[in-house]
Amino acid sequence: MSRIQVPKIPSSELTPEPLYYSRRTWLSLVGLSGISAFIAPSAAAQDRWPQGKQGPYDTDEKPSTFREITTYNNFYEFGTDKSDPAAYSGDFKPKPWTVRIDGHVKKEADVQLEDLLKPFAVEDRIYRMRCVEGWSMVIPWRGIPLASILKRVEPTSKARYVAFQTVLRPEEMPGQRRRVLDWPYVEGLRLDEALHPLTFMATGLYGRDLPNQNGAPFRLVVPWKYGFKSIKSIVRMTLTATEPPTTWNLSAPDEYGFYSNVNPEVDHPRWSQKTERRIGEFGKRKTLMLNGYAGLVEGLYAGMDLKKHY
């Protein structure tokens, strides 16, 4: 039952993340020890990017550490403090996992997650993640593009949106025992957003299975939208004709819209979105339009007033 201990893995058992993305940097930090002679040959083959080269969608920014990514989470199903998901997700069982895909599709599916993923090769993607609260990280995800899955289930011509739903297990998710939000958590994307090559279904990070606190075993990653759009622990995806409801929008419609694209020019009604603190840094960075992915995704919003469709 090793998965139950995810938050408590001794640090000695983790692949140190510098080793993961850059043996050379790590070696230079360690210094001139004789060990470097042994590892150097493999280090030459390994680069910063786990797949050996920078993919077209990877950021070249320094990834946040494994500790940063796995101890500072907004996953209200396990509690509303950032430390709650790591502390209280130990009882959550991400295996076995079934995903239902229905709605306007030719091939409805009720599949085991392994079977759903089997036809595809997993990829590593290093993405920026910007939280609506004003902080950000860089996360090396592992998974597959959502488009690969959607193409397999063949959306019909009526399908215009994808609705996502998180698992409802109050007995394993203590945060769901309090009605902070209207459980289960639901999210949605327009079909063209869902089919965009950046839109990713993560099953891991840092080359390992997703820890429970990060949305195990199967979660959405939409890097140009605020983090809460990237719904975790997904059990259902439904292709719909109309815009599906989304949890934060239902809770506070004037603060959280359906699109929720990262946009430094549209402030949250109560705080500025112009800057962000990258976790691990002292100063603040300027928040980038569409979280720095404008060149890739702005075409999706041509002719739309993003101040109105926030």
Q: Does 253 bind other proteins (CB under 8 A)?
A: no
- Comparison of 57 and 72: residue with beta carbon closer to other proteins: 72
- Give CA angle at 211 (206, 216), nearest 5°: 110
- Comparison of 132 and 202: residue with beta carbon closer to other proteins: 132
Number of residues that bind other proteins (CB under 8 A): 29
Residue 229 DSSP label: G
Q: Using the rule CB under 8 A, which residue among 34, 56, 96, 283 binds other proteins?
A: 283
* CA-to-CA separations, 3 to 168, 171, 258, in angstroms, rounded: 19, 17, 34
Interface map 169-208 toward other proteins (x if CB under 8 A): ---------x-xx---------------------------
Closest separation in Å from C-beta 70 to other proteins: 10
Hey, what are 228's tokens? 């809460």
For residues 289 and 264, what is the distance between their CA atoms, to the nearest angstrom?
A: 6
Query: Residue with structure tokens 């063209």?
Result: 192
Q: Using the rule CB under 8 A, which residue among 67, 106, 151, 177 binds other proteins?
A: 67
Q: In this structure, are strands 200-205 and 98-103 parallel, antiparallel, or unpaired?
A: unpaired
Query: Residue with structure tokens 């339009």?
Result: 289
Q: Does 61 bind other proteins (CB under 8 A)?
A: no
Contact, 216 vs 94, CB < 8 A? yes
Other C-beta atoms lying within 10 Å of the C-beta of residue 185: 23
Q: Does 133 bind other proteins (CB under 8 A)?
A: yes
Q: Using the rule CB under 8 A, which residue among 87, 209, 284, 296 binds other proteins?
A: 284
* 93, HSE (Cβ side, Cα atoms, 13 Å): 9
Q: Does 76 bind other proteins (CB under 8 A)?
A: yes
For the chain, how big is the Rg over CA atoms in Å? Answer: 20
Contact, 239 vs 188, CB < 8 A? no
Helix, strand, coil percentages in the chain from 3-state DSSP, rounded to 5: 30, 20, 50
Q: Using the rule CB under 8 A, which residue among 265, 272, 299, 309 binds other proteins?
A: 272
Q: Using the rule CB under 8 A, which residue among 24, 82, 152, 169 binds other proteins?
A: 82
Q: Does 49 bind other proteins (CB under 8 A)?
A: no
Q: Does 68 bind other proteins (CB under 8 A)?
A: yes
Question: Rule CB under 8 A: which of 102-131 touch other proteins?
Answer: none
Q: Using the rule CB under 8 A, which residue among 270, 286, 307, 308 binds other proteins?
A: 270
Binding site for other proteins (CB under 8 A): 64-65, 67-68, 71-72, 76, 80, 82-83, 132-133, 135, 178, 180-181, 248, 251-252, 270-272, 274, 277, 279-280, 282-284
